[in-house]
Amino acid sequence: MIRLKDFTSLCKAEFYLVLAWRNDERIAPFMHSKQISFNEHLKFFEELKFNTNKKYFLVYDDEEILGVISFVKTKQIYEFGLYQNPNLKGFGKILMQEILNHAFLNLKLKKLNAKVLKSNQKALNLYLNFGFKIYKEDKDIFYITHAGGGL
Ligand SMILES: CC(C)(COP(=O)(O)OP(=O)(O)OC[C@H]1O[C@@H](n2cnc3c(N)ncnc32)[C@H](O)[C@@H]1OP(=O)(O)O)[C@@H](O)C(=O)NCCC(=O)NCCS
């Protein structure tokens, strides 16, 4: 069974696992450009305790962690993020479905946005298959959006 575990309630092992994933060469190049130190990771987790505009979850399938999904609110607009457990393949659809469920059924958003590097073909295909549309682009990035309802 799929369940979400909020980053504010992770145990020590999960905390370190997420740090390793954030710096994993199969994930990091698609998310950010620099190495994340232990102190930065700790600061990021501390911020999540009081910043209600940022929500991060581990996605569990029974005892297995499939990946991470996130929601960041800026000026009333929500952006999602995701990455899969780097040791797994083919669970992007499940992570994506959890994102849409949380956004449109729990948070009852009217709109959900994200950014994706133009070079990240796997992520882009996944998003387009789930009904996201590109509404803007610049040199390196596609900006995508999905309207609520119709789930
Ligand atoms: C984006 C992401 C979630 C997409 O996940 P996904 O759609 O499940 O795709 P995967 O990365 O697992 O790759 C699917 C590939 O694995 C293969 N595959 C699927 N299930 C498999 C399995 N059980 N065993 C082996 N291979 C499998 C598919 O055929 C496909 O092959 P390809 O290499 O020819 O494309 C994932 O690639 C990821 O976490 N990437 C890094 C972080 C990232 O880019 N995040 C998004 C930022 S905008």
Q: What is the pLDDT of residues 47-74, one digit of tens each?
A: 999 999 999 999 999 999 999 999 999 9
Compute CA distances 49 → 46, 58, 99, whole Å: 6, 16, 21
Q: What is the pTM of this model?
A: 0.94
Report which protein residue has its CA nearest ligand 1's atom 45.
83
70 pocket-lining for ligand 1 (C-beta < 6 Å): no
Instruction: Tell me how far the alpha carbon of residue 36 lies from the centroid of ligand 1, in angstroms.
Output: 23
Residue 150 has pLDDT above 60, yes or no: no
Name 2's bridge partners: 61
pLDDT, tens digit, 9 for 90 and up, residues 11-58: 999 999 999 999 999 999 998 778 999 999 999 999 999 999 999 999
User: What's the pLDDT score for residue 15?
Assistant: 98
Residue 93 has pLDDT above 90, yes or no: yes
